[in-house]
Amino acid sequence: MEAHAFVVRHARVPVLPPGSATTRVLHVSDLHLLPGQADKIAFVRDLASLAPDVVVDTGDNMAHQDALAPLVHALEPLLARPGAFVMGSNDYFAPRAKSWSRYLRRDPRAADRSVVARAINEVTGRDKDQRLPADELARIMREAGWKDLTNRRDALVTDETHLDLVGVDDPHLDLDRFPARAPIPQGALRVGVAHAPYLRVLKSMRDDGASLVLAGHTHGGQLAVPFYGALVTNCDLDRSRAKGLHGWPGARPDEPGGEDSLWLHVSAGLGTSPFAPVRFACRPEATLLELVPSA
């Protein structure tokens, strides 16, 4: 079953200053973990064998109110490494059954704004029967040393690489509040982190000086057509960038015409909604990004 055919992708991102040492960033996203998903838990635990320098988690970790303990077990080896995280909607509240037609709309919010109102209820304490332990998950990640990028800035320094980080809360729920401007430290690489790659967030991050942005949310379209690609992205990002490494808004920065673009990596993620547990032509993935000097 393709939804359980987990794979590790590899990509090289020529984004560091000349002469810099290679930095290995493991990007994980959209686990949507359910209790009892032993194969997914084992796969995530084994990702530590890749020996990443940094781990970035772009949210939607849980899909059940009892998923926290197995999630922490899955992430345990990775939490021993430097990392950073933002939250997605399925860190705040459990998924609900929806019409399958929603998964064929470019952005279902346009037809159902109730999801935003429900999100506000969730994060302000109402609808407690659907709430997930996002606060406890964030506390565990912070205590492990991971940087909480929920509408804030932070930094990670590994060997010779200084990652200047900026993140936002889930844009799909309109919870993003971009932090106040700040200068980029000399020699640092500014990296933007968000759960959902909405265009307003990508623009803010590019205007802020980010050279690389990491996001998830799209599931790579989840249902793709061979030789055509994703049908939808579940946001306003174009289908051609539904997963993988791209330039945005134009060509890749190492290609002609990409001088004003940033690098954008969108993870197809490792899970699905429990109410739509199917993938087609879009295997679940984690990605090891090798940040290397630019030409």
Domains of the chain: 24-96+114-285 (3.60.21)
pLDDT tier for residue 107 given thresholds of 50, 70 and 90: low
Nearest-angstrom CA–CA distance, 285 and 293 = 25
Q: What is the pLDDT of residue 1?
A: 78
- 227/220 Cα distance (integer angstroms): 14
When mean pLDDT is compared across 92-96, 110-114, 187-191, the lowest value belongs to: 110-114
- With cut-offs at 50, 70 and 90, classify the pLDDT of residue 119: low
Residue-level pLDDT at 95: 86
Average pLDDT over residues 73-96: 96
Residue 152 gets which letter from DSSP? E
**Which of the two residues, 276 and 285, has the higher pLDDT score?**
285
Q: 196: how many CB neighbours lie within 10 A of its CB?
A: 28
User: Is residue 108 predicted with pLDDT exceeding 80?
Assistant: no
Mean pLDDT along residues 132-156: 98
If one counts every other C-beta atom within 10 angstroms of the C-beta of residue 57, the result is: 31
Closest by CA to 177, choosing from 206, 154, 153, 161, is 153
Query: Tokens in use for 81?
Result: 């490494």
Chain center to CA of 61: 10
> What is the model's pLDDT at position 127?
59
d(CA 64, CA 92) in angstroms, rounded, equals 11
Predicted pLDDT at 101: 52
| Lookup: tokens for 106 | 């470019």
